[in-house]
Structure 1
Amino acid sequence: MFAKLYFEDYTEGDTRETSGRTITETDIVLHAGQTGDFFPHHMDAEWCKTQPFRERIAHGTLIFSVAVGMTASLINEVAFSYGYDRLRFIKPVFIGDTIKVKVTIKEKKPYKKPGMGFVTELVEVFNQKQECVMICEHIMLAQLKPV
């Protein structure tokens, strides 16, 4: 879906939420292959039984990637992603956990280039128990409405 959401179209405090997505063993195995991260925390079920979490955990970068993809439901022709700040993995995500994402417009501020502004979104990822498992800020650069 295509849209034109200008800087002025974003309102601080507005929220949107995604539907759920269950993290599978296949997700973890594919992510390990793509990144080269085969640490035992993700891949070795027997070793994990000897650790505090007692089972394999999903890569934090996997949860970040999936969460970002879950929020990408709109192609905005007048804004683009500038990056992500303050990324934190709060709790582990296990095989079989279902995550949902809540996005809140946190802040708007001018950009040094005329005609542009920063929109900061707070991105919160929750598991099926409503526990926050990951948080970050997504910064977008959006055009101001033409005069």
Structure 2
Amino acid sequence: MIQEIYFEDYQIGDTRQTLGRTITEADIVLHAGHTGDFFPHHMDAQWCKTQPFKQRIAHGTLTFAVGVGMTATLINPVAMTYGYERLRFPNPVHIGDTINVKVEITEKRDHERKPEFGFVTERLTVTKQDGSVVLVCDHLLLANKKA
């Protein structure tokens, strides 16, 4: 879906929620191949049994990529990603965990040098089925202002 949402249209406190997505062993294996991160925490089930989590954990970058992808439901031609800040992984994601994402508008501010733009901050909170938070970050959007 394509929809123009300008800086002025974003309201602090507005939220949206994604549906769930279950992380599979295939996700972890493919992500390891894409990134070259074959650390045993992700790939060695026997070794992981000797570690605190007792099972393989998804790469943080996999959780980030899937979580962000889950929020991409709208093409907005008047706003784009400027970056991500304050990225944290407070709890692990394991094979078979189902994650979902809450997005909340937490801040708006004018662009310091370009008055035709503003910054919108979306807080992404990724949780898994037991309610524990597995990722939190701020997504910065550069949004056009209305003419």
The alignment's TM-score, normalised by the length of structure 1, stands at 0.99
**Aligned-partner SS, 1:2:** coil
**Aligned-partner SS, 2:93:** coil
**Aligned-partner SS, 2:12:** coil
Residue 129 of structure 2: aligned partner = 128
> Is residue 91 of structure 2 the alignment partner of residue 91 of structure 1?
yes
Shift of 1:114: 1.3
Runs (5+) with no aligned partner, structure 2:
none
Per-residue CA shift, 1:3-35, capped at 9, x if unaligned? 100000000000000000000000000000000
Q: Which amino acid counterpart does residue 58 of structure 1 have in structure 2?
A: A
Per-residue CA shift, 1:79-117, capped at 9, x if unaligned? 000000000011000000000000000000000201100
**Aligned-partner SS, 1:56:** coil
The alignment's TM-score, normalised by the length of structure 2, stands at 0.99
Flag as ranges the 4+ runs of structure 1 deviating above 2 A: none
> How much is the aligned-residue C-alpha RMSD, in angstroms?
0.4
Equivalent-residue separation in structure 2 for 1:73 and 1:25 (angstroms): 25
Shift of 1:45: 0.2
Q: Which amino acid counterpart does residue 122 of structure 2 have in structure 1?
A: E
Give 1:102-121 correspondences, 5 Å limit: 102-112=102-112, 113-121=114-122
Work out the percentage of aligned pairs sharing the same amino acid: 66
